[in-house]
Amino acid sequence: MSNPPPTLHLLCGKIAAGKSTLAKRLAARPNTVLISEDFWNSTLYPDELKTIEDYSRYSARVRAVLGPHVVALLKAGLSVVLDFQANTLAIRRWMRTLIDGSGANHELHLLDIPDETCKRRLRERNAAGEHPYQASDADYELFTRHFVPPTADEKFNVVVHKEDSA
Buried b (16+ CB within 10 A) or exposed e, 44-55: ebeeebeeeeeb
Give 48-103 pLDDT, tens digit per residue. 887 778 888 999 999 999 999 999 999 999 999 999 999 999 999 999 999 999 99
Q: Which residue range forms the structural domain that includes residue 140?
A: 7-162
Q: State yes or no: pLDDT of 1 exceeds 70.
A: no
Identify whether 142 is part of a domain.
yes
Arithmetic mean of pLDDT, 114-129: 90
The more confident residue out of 10 and 164 is 10
- On whether residue 99 sits in a domain, the answer given is yes
Which pLDDT value is given to residue 165? 53
Is pLDDT of 147 > 80? yes
What mean pLDDT value characterizes the chain? 91
Establish if 2 belongs to a structural domain: no
Instruction: Tally the domains of the chain.
Output: 1
Poorest-confidence range of 30-44, 84-98, 134-148? 134-148
Any domain includes 49: yes
Domain CATH number, residue 80: 3.40.50.300
Confirm whether 1 is domain-assigned: no
Distance of CA 23 to the CA centre of its chain: 8
Task: Output the pLDDT for position 66.
Answer: 96
Q: Is residue 16 part of a domain?
A: yes
- Mean pLDDT value across residues 130-144: 80
**pTM summary value:** 0.90
Task: Provide the pLDDT for residue 27.
Answer: 98
The pLDDT confidence band at residue 38, using thresholds 50, 70 and 90, is: confident
pLDDT computed for residue 2 by the predictor: 67
Please report the pLDDT score of residue 47 as a whole number: 87
pLDDT at 155: 96
The residue ranking higher by pLDDT, 12 or 54, is 12
Residues 6 or more apart whose CB falls under 8 angstroms from that of 10 comprise 82, 84, 86, 92, 95, 106, 107, 108, 109, 156
